[in-house]
Amino acid sequence: MRPSGRDNDQLREVRITRNYTKHAEGSVLVEFGDTKVLCTASVERGVPRFLRGSGSGWVTAEYGMLPRSTGSRMGREAARGKQGGRTVEIQRLIGRSLRAVMDLDKLGENTITIDCDVIQADGGTRTASITGACVALKDAIDFLKKDKNGAMKGNPFKGMLGAVSVGIYKGQPVLDLDYAEDSKAETDMNVIMTEAGGFVEVQGTAEGETFTQDELNAMLALASKGIKEIVEIQKAALQS
Amino acid sequence: MRPSGRDNDQLREVRITRNYTKHAEGSVLVEFGDTKVLCTASVERGVPRFLRGSGSGWVTAEYGMLPRSTGSRMGREAARGKQGGRTVEIQRLIGRSLRAVMDLDKLGENTITIDCDVIQADGGTRTASITGACVALKDAIDFLKKDKNGAMKGNPFKGMLGAVSVGIYKGQPVLDLDYAEDSKAETDMNVIMTEAGGFVEVQGTAEGETFTQDELNAMLALASKGIKEIVEIQKAALQS
Amino acid sequence: MRPSGRDNDQLREVRITRNYTKHAEGSVLVEFGDTKVLCTASVERGVPRFLRGSGSGWVTAEYGMLPRSTGSRMGREAARGKQGGRTVEIQRLIGRSLRAVMDLDKLGENTITIDCDVIQADGGTRTASITGACVALKDAIDFLKKDKNGAMKGNPFKGMLGAVSVGIYKGQPVLDLDYAEDSKAETDMNVIMTEAGGFVEVQGTAEGETFTQDELNAMLALASKGIKEIVEIQKAALQS
Amino acid sequence: MRPSGRDNDQLREVRITRNYTKHAEGSVLVEFGDTKVLCTASVERGVPRFLRGSGSGWVTAEYGMLPRSTGSRMGREAARGKQGGRTVEIQRLIGRSLRAVMDLDKLGENTITIDCDVIQADGGTRTASITGACVALKDAIDFLKKDKNGAMKGNPFKGMLGAVSVGIYKGQPVLDLDYAEDSKAETDMNVIMTEAGGFVEVQGTAEGETFTQDELNAMLALASKGIKEIVEIQKAALQS
Amino acid sequence: MRPSGRDNDQLREVRITRNYTKHAEGSVLVEFGDTKVLCTASVERGVPRFLRGSGSGWVTAEYGMLPRSTGSRMGREAARGKQGGRTVEIQRLIGRSLRAVMDLDKLGENTITIDCDVIQADGGTRTASITGACVALKDAIDFLKKDKNGAMKGNPFKGMLGAVSVGIYKGQPVLDLDYAEDSKAETDMNVIMTEAGGFVEVQGTAEGETFTQDELNAMLALASKGIKEIVEIQKAALQS
Amino acid sequence: MRPSGRDNDQLREVRITRNYTKHAEGSVLVEFGDTKVLCTASVERGVPRFLRGSGSGWVTAEYGMLPRSTGSRMGREAARGKQGGRTVEIQRLIGRSLRAVMDLDKLGENTITIDCDVIQADGGTRTASITGACVALKDAIDFLKKDKNGAMKGNPFKGMLGAVSVGIYKGQPVLDLDYAEDSKAETDMNVIMTEAGGFVEVQGTAEGETFTQDELNAMLALASKGIKEIVEIQKAALQS
């Protein structure tokens, strides 16, 4: 029995609100239950130095948590003067995953920066971030399509990307862990898949107990089911 | 004629939403038109080193802007590894102002940290922050009152604090400048007053043209009017 | 009765020594009583990136205190690896104020950097800094006038700038607070005015008690009187 | 056909040299072909603040690359003033994995720090690091067993941990990628398992092409085979 | 012929002004010709962590240059966020040298921090700093002697320390190089000796041409002569 | 009697292994007894900004210690976010010394970076570093000679450079101090000489007791003898 009363293969309510703020080329509030992340996509002409003159574009991501998005206040990273290891890990994961659905040559020499800022945390902030970021990225690309100076060379977007966490909680494989589960799970795994069903990232970590091949397969099956549902919600949001 | 069509002495619509997020002891979304700031108050037992053993408490503030709260993306301060001068100035102002309505001895050895994070910026983020922060602070104090272990010694809160910007725009004194005005104003002034009508801070800066004593007096009169209205809105929010 | 025995509207002795060090294009030791600040102006060809190609120049300021300029030793900011919030606030104020008396277009693509380093502190270091910096700035501009390669386009200097602190001390408005007064004042205000009598900055802060409109007006009158005297001293120094 | 001529399920030559340097409580040079990593284990009494008084110990890891361990020189992280995101990710992975084979309560209030410094890189530095680190950790624990003041409470070491990379290279699942393969692989996966065959970490990343469930299973089978061989080599080294 | 017209074995005019600023326990302006350094000694109760409970005291030094003490403006180290290598080298040298004339056990658990801040640079700032610092240190010790709570155990000061630079300039050994010589010298050597004539530090560096044993001996003889004269000036200053 | 049983004028066994790692243009493991330092030389086209367009090349050095190269673990400088003062001092010394045997004009606009990383420390790491670095530098220059694009203008290498420490230990001048001696020596001196017998650097520091001219001369004679032997070993290594 899960703390939230959900079935083992049941997502939290996933909500995606586009145009949440007014300045960004893509601005999405994504909610997985009480986890709320603001994902903005910012388009800038030009690319980082290592790509200049290549004709190719770039997609990168940054991640942050508001200090009181969590149960007890976390020190502000800007005040401490550095981003923590967890932050760095997550933003590298987001950026790498999004690039997996992009044809950077077609993007032209544009950079899209995705900012994922956690307003409220209740587990699964990295998978919610990727889910929302992909929608914001799509909006930014649609903005660039309409922009004559953007100089894209065709459609760089290869399809949606969904992400969800799965885990072993009290010996059972479960889908989309909230904080109450995540903090006690034996295994925690983040899975990122394309809408076509290919794996982009699989990151599973044993916390205390190791996990078996069977448990891994059960978790991947749950993830696959959940991501299909998430992609439907992304597509519905993009059509509204 | 103001870009927004407002009268010279007219505030933007000010909205205050309490309990905006679930973890903080005080959590307020404050909106001055399109300027939106999330103000959270976090209560922690204990005080900074310089107050330990004094029996006195502490109130401090931090301020940040989400990277794409603005028209073009600002670099993330956590990524750059330091807070900019403007950030430091603003968070010192917020903290100092809030302490002006606190009796820190009565607070006991508790620290209340106010985080003001700008979700969307359209001018006046520092005055909106102080306005929202004061409401979040009041909620945090009410939380502490109910907490037997909080060890307050009476009510440390001396009354509401409102803040507003005023300026000289196209030669006219105007109240509550939005970004379109602020970026072109000849003079920009931030005024912070108690609900009893005393001045806590007055910070006026000439941008290009200097200002006269008469202009200063006209701006202060506008600020006084605006802050009275803001305090009414704060009080209404606290009663809802 | 003031600790120093001065009248309420009496400045400390203000001394301005030009050419205090030999390398800088402007080098001024300014003393307000026991407060001693070395203000140097350094001229460099070129401007920061955001002005390149604009034809316009730039004036900026940096501020520092020698570690033992104060009663107890302050940690060296270079050793701690960052400038404190107070330092940042003050140097932004100095730079912004000086730019108010400059026509940056006429300066051409030159940068003048003003360094204000406090040798000995006894209250009022920021107003002494601005007062001395303005004289050093004038010397640097006169240096540029004689320099054929400096490429100024006319006289960029619009007139002198004086600065002084005022406050409410033991219920009385007083002019030019020294440390003994400053550390106990109910209100502390820094006022910066042009020699023509226009306000450039007004920054008043209540420490404990709020202040009224009448007190504000009394303080501004004192400041106006003091700055007139300071401008006379600046002009006398420039003629010697 | 692999660039090295190896079979798809063939490891590089794995060598483990204990007591490589003289000061550390555990000091292991691990070589996977041309990848060479020095892994040292340092024992210190006491634990980080968050564990003080808990009776429990701690194991943590740091990772670094010598500037010219790679084909072109990498900037020294100490000189740049921060560890890069990749470094942070890897050292968190090493520490987390090693803790999976430790009973920290039995370790007592001791901290073991594992340093993995890459002398020469040719792909697979993180899996080589974990493989060598586990042997150095075992040596450090054996050191502590002999130390009366170490105050362990029984044997904290739960068994060996082996790590290896697998991937999809030119459409084929392959074991233990060297740099020539790693830089061109479609998928790269790091697998960490206990000697008992349980998964501790699985981290798979698609580079360009996504991967399927079948490919994932094939890679895990290769990893399982390779790790069994690696554990044998670890055990042989510990007995010599 | 030296640029200054001095004889090869002639010091610049050396001036030592005590009580130069009012807050520090020792405050000395030292001038070697146009090189001017303010040396302050600050006494604090307590010692760094590594000495706590040892009964022994500590002497340490910090060094800085005002940004425009030099011919062209140097970036402010506090603004750049780190002390340069040259600064670190010099302040370690100053601290180490001063400790050579101290009996730290007799100092008791007090820390004396020497700040050497260069007001104007014209070569030889490190040797001028040590020369002035030693006088400021002596004043601080005399302050501690009169302080009942200072808890010294006898006189910790073992005697004066003088420092001077020597070098090979246009093939000739010369004493006390100014900037015009220093920037062109073939060899530059800093020598620090006690008043009893013992060497504390010898640091000689060839710039371009190597130097011979004979040249080394000639330079040391010049240094010895110069330091004798410097110690006389220090003693005269202490008696005035 | 020395702890190692060596004669006062006896070096430890000095071993030089070239091509120790495979990527660098010069890669040397140098051992002075138990002190082991990996010295790599990396060639890059181009020079730092201050030399661009000058036609001249640059040689620079960086130094680091592996965290557990020492008896107790030292914090990793990359993790602390800055290089310590000792590190900075040593790498400046290495770079400056190597430039003394280079004709940088003949090097052309190439930069050679020498990395000296201490694998195991037992006293004398800086002199071992310079000794090994010189051999690595020679190998890098020979690499450049064969490289048509390297654009050297003749042979920039002026001859070998050897370095050794000497000191006063228990009142006796001794050659090549190991850690057991170094930590108790009254005086510690590092001497760097060319193969032609010229001094490049002499750095002597009294630890507790000052030293006399006679002791200085005795130490220099020992150093001269030791460096002659070291240069022979360098040359033998280069011929093997």
DSSP B160-190: -EEEEEEEEETTEEEES--HHHHTT-SEEEE
Q: Do D42 and F67 touch (CB under 8 A)?
A: yes
Per-residue pLDDT at A150: 78
Tell me the shortest Cα–Cα distance from F19 to chain D, in angstroms: 12
A-B C-beta contacts closer than 8 Å: 96
Q: Are C152 and C110 in contact (CB under 8 A)?
A: yes
Instruction: Give the pLDDT band of residue B172 (cuts 50, 70, 90).
Output: very high
Structure tokens at F177: 């101090």
Query: Of E89, E196, E211, which is closest to F198 when you measure between CB atoms?
Result: E211
C111 interface with E at CB cutoff 8 Å: no
Q: Tell me which chain B residues have a C-beta less than 8 angstroms from the C-beta of C206.
A: 100, 198-201
D125-145 and D213-239 helices, crossing angle to 10°:
40
User: Which residues of F are less than 8 Å from E203 in CB distance?
Assistant: 201-204
Judged by CB atoms closer than 8 Å, whether chains meet at E209 and F201 is answered as no
Domain boundaries, chain E: 14-239
Nearest-Cα distance to chain A for B82, in Å, is 5
Helix F125-145 vs helix F85-99: crossing angle, to nearest 10: 40
Please list every residue in chain B whose beta carbon sits closer than 8 Å to the beta carbon of residue A121. 23
| Residue D3: half-sphere exposure toward Cβ, Cα within 13 Å | 13
Alpha helices for F3-124 (secondary structure H): 77-80, 85-99, 104-107
Q: Which residues pair with C206 in a beta bridge?
A: C187
Q: Domain B14-239 belongs to what architecture?
A: 2-Layer Sandwich (3.30)
Note whether E185 contacts F: Cβ–Cβ < 8 A: no
Distance from CA of D80 to the nearest CA of A (A): 13
State residue C1's pLDDT score.
Answer: 86
pLDDT of residue F1: 86
Q: What's the token pair of residue E154?
A: 């006898």
For residues B188 and A230, give the distance between their C-alpha atoms in angstroms, rounded to a whole number.
Answer: 48
pLDDT at residue number F237: 98
Angstrom distance (rounded) from CA B120 to CA A21: 6
Annotated binding site of D for phosphate: 86, 124-126
Smallest Cβ–Cβ distance between F66 and the set D22, D117, D121 belongs to: D117
The residue of B160, B166, B210, B219 whose CB has the most chain C CBs within 10 angstroms, and thus the best one to mutate to test that interface, is B210
Residue F215, min C-alpha distance to chain D (Å): 34
| Nearest chain A CA: its distance from B157 CA (Å) | 22
Residue A207 pLDDT level (bands cut at 50, 70, 90): confident
* Min Cα separation F7/chain D (Å): 24
Q: DSSP letters along C100-146, please?
A: TTB-HHHH-SEEEEEEEEEEE-SS-HHHHHHHHHHHHHHHHHHHHHT
**Is pLDDT at C157 greater than 90 in this prediction?**
yes
CA E225 to chain centre: 17
Residues of B with Cβ-Cβ distance to A92 under 8 angstroms: none
Residues 6+ apart with CB under 8 A from D147: none
Torsion angle of the four alpha carbons B184, B187, B190, B191, in this order, in degrees rounded to the nearest 10: -140
Cβ-nearest to C211 among B199, B209, B211: B199
Tokens of C27: 């080098």
Residues E124, E165 contacting (CB under 8 angstroms): yes
CB of A181 within 8 A of CB of A2?
Answer: yes
Min Cα distance F71 → chain D (Å) is 5
| Residue in chain B nearest A113 by alpha carbon | B73
Residue of B nearest to C100 (CA): B208
The pTM is what? 0.91
Is A159 part of the contact surface with chain D (CB cutoff 8 Å)? no
Give the Cα separation of A112 and A25 in Å (integer).
Answer: 9
User: Which residues in chain D are closer than 8 Å to F21, comparing Cβ atoms?
Assistant: 36, 68-69, 119-120
Entry field: residues in chain B = 240
Chain F residues touching residue E206 (CB < 8 angstroms):
100, 198-201
Nearest 5°: the CA angle C184, C186, C192 is 100
User: How far apart are alpha carbons D173 and E159 in whole angstroms?
Assistant: 76
Coil, helix or strand at residue A42 = strand
Size of chain D, expressed as the number of residues it contains: 240
Instruction: Find the residue in E nearest to F201 (Cα).
Output: E205
The answer to whether the CB atoms of B92 and C96 lie below 8 A apart is no
- Please state, rounded to an integer, the average pLDDT across all residues of chain A: 96
Subunit contact D21:F78, Cβ cutoff 8 A: no
| Region F56-77 average pLDDT | 97
Question: What is the band of C182 on the pLDDT scale with cuts at 50, 70, 90?
Answer: very high
DSSP lists the bridge partners of residue B63 as B116
- Quote the CA–CA distance of E27 and E17 in Å, as a whole number: 8
CB count within 10 Å of CB A15 equals 13
User: Do B212 and C198 make contact, defined as CB atoms within 8 angstroms?
Assistant: yes
Instruction: Point out which residues pair with C188 in neighbouring strands.
Output: C167, C205
Contacts of E89 in chain F (CB under 8 A): 85, 88-89, 92
> Is F120 in CB contact (< 8 Å) with chain D?
yes
Mutation to test the E interface, candidates C76, C90, C139, most E Cβ within 10 Å: C76
Nearest to A210 among D200, D203, D208 (CB): D200
Mean pLDDT, range C21-49, rounded to an integer: 97
Indicate if the alpha-carbon torsion angle D106, D109, D112, D113 is positive or negative: positive
Structure tokens at B143: 């939380």
Cβ distance D202 to A213 less than 8 Å, yes or no, reads no
**Which pLDDT belongs to residue A222?**
98
Q: What's the gap between Cα E176 and its chain centre?
A: 13
Note whether C125 and C153 are within 8 A (CB): no
Q: Answer whether D81 touches F (CB < 8 Å).
A: yes
D182-185's contacts with Cβ under 8 Å and 24+ in sequence apart are: D182/D123, D182/D124, D183/D123
- DSSP for F140-198, please give it: HHHHHHT-GGG---S--B---EEEEEEEEETTEEEES--HHHHTT-SEEEEEEEETTS-
Q: pLDDT truncated to tens, each residue of chain E (240 aa)?
A: 899 999 999 999 999 999 999 999 999 999 999 999 999 999 999 999 999 999 999 999 999 999 999 999 999 999 998 899 999 999 999 999 999 999 999 999 999 999 999 999 999 999 999 999 999 999 999 999 998 887 899 999 999 999 999 999 999 999 999 999 999 999 999 999 999 999 999 999 998 789 999 999 999 999 999 999 999 999 999 998
Q: Does C17 touch chain E (CB under 8 A)?
A: no
Strands C110-120 and A199-206, by their bridges, are unpaired
Taking alpha carbons only, the member of D221, D124, D122, D209 closest to residue D164 is D124
Within 10 angstroms of residue E233's Cβ, the number of other Cβ atoms is: 18
- F183 phi, psi to nearest 5 deg: -75, -10
- Distance, in Å, from the CA atom of F25 to the CA atom of D9, rounded to the nearest integer, reads 34
Comparing alpha-carbon positions, the chain A residue that sits nearest to D89 is A89
Q: Is E124 annotated as a binding residue?
A: yes
Determine, for residues D82 and A82 on separate chains, whether the beta-carbon distance falls below 8 Å.
Answer: yes
Q: How far apart are CA A62 and CA A40, in angstroms?
A: 10
Among left, alpha and beta (phi > 0; psi -120 to 50; other), residue E75 is beta
| Strand ranges (E), E33-175 | 35-45, 58-65, 110-120, 161-169, 172-175
In this structure, what DSSP letter does residue D49 have? Answer: G
Contact (CB<8Å) D68/F27: yes
Cβ-based burial of F5 (10 A; exposed 0-12, middle 13-18, buried ≥19): exposed
Give the pLDDT mean for D181-208. 95
- pLDDT of residue D121 exceeding 90, the answer is yes
Q: How big is the CA angle at C193 (ends C189 and C199), to the nearest 5 degrees?
A: 80
- Residue B204: count of CB within 10 angstroms of its CB: 24
CB proximity B152 to C under 8 Å:
no
Contacting chains of F (3 CB pairs or more, <8 Å) are D, E
Q: Which ipTM value was assigned to this complex?
A: 0.95
Angle at A119 between CA A115 and CA A122, to 5 degrees: 115
- Tell me if chain F has a CB within 8 Å of the CB of D76: yes
Distance (Å) of CA C204 to CA B87, C121, F158: 19, 21, 67
C162 touches chain E (CB under 8 A): no
> What is the residue whose two structure tokens read 């992400």?
A163
Q: Which of F62, F201, F203 is nearest to D73 (CA)?
A: F62
- A142-182 pLDDT, tens digit each: 999 998 887 899 999 999 999 999 999 999 999 999 999 99
φ, ψ (nearest 5 deg) of residue A39: -115, 120
- Name the strand (E) or helix (H) holding F195: none
% of residues, chain F, pLDDT over 70: 100
Q: Are E121 and E30 in contact (CB under 8 A)?
A: no
β partners of residue A30:
A16, A37
Mean pLDDT computed over every residue of chain F: 96
Q: How far apart are CA C111 and CA F136, in angstroms?
A: 45
Evaluate if residue C147 carries a pLDDT over 90: no
Q: Phi first, then psi: what are they for B203, rounded to 5°?
A: -130, 105
Across the interface, which of C92, C198, C204 has its CB nearest the CB of B199?
C204
| Cα D179 from Cα D123, distance rounded (Å) | 4
> Whole-number mean pLDDT of chain B?
96
Q: Which two structure tokens, joined as six digits, stand for F61? A: 């050095």
Ramachandran sector of residue A204 (left: φ over 0; alpha: ψ -120 to 50; beta: rest): beta
The DSSP H or E segment spanning D239 is helix D213-239
- Asked if the model's pLDDT at residue C151 lies above 90, the reply is no
- Tell me the C-alpha distance between E222 and E164, whole Å: 9
Maximum Cα interatomic distance, chain F, rounded to a whole number of Å: 56
E92, E203, E220: residue with CB nearest F85: E92
What's the CA gap between E25 and E20, in Å, rounded? 11
Q: Chain A, 188-217: which have a CB under 8 Å from a chain B CB?
A: none
Cα–Cα distance measured from residue C8 to residue C185, given in angstroms and rounded to the nearest whole number: 13
Other C-beta atoms lying within 10 Å of the C-beta of residue C204? 24
CB contact under 8 A, E206 and F212: no
> Closest partner residue to F120 among D23, D67, D70, by Cβ?
D23
Binding residues of F for phosphate: 86, 124-126
pLDDT greater than 90 at residue D143: yes
- Assigned token pair, C129: 């800094």
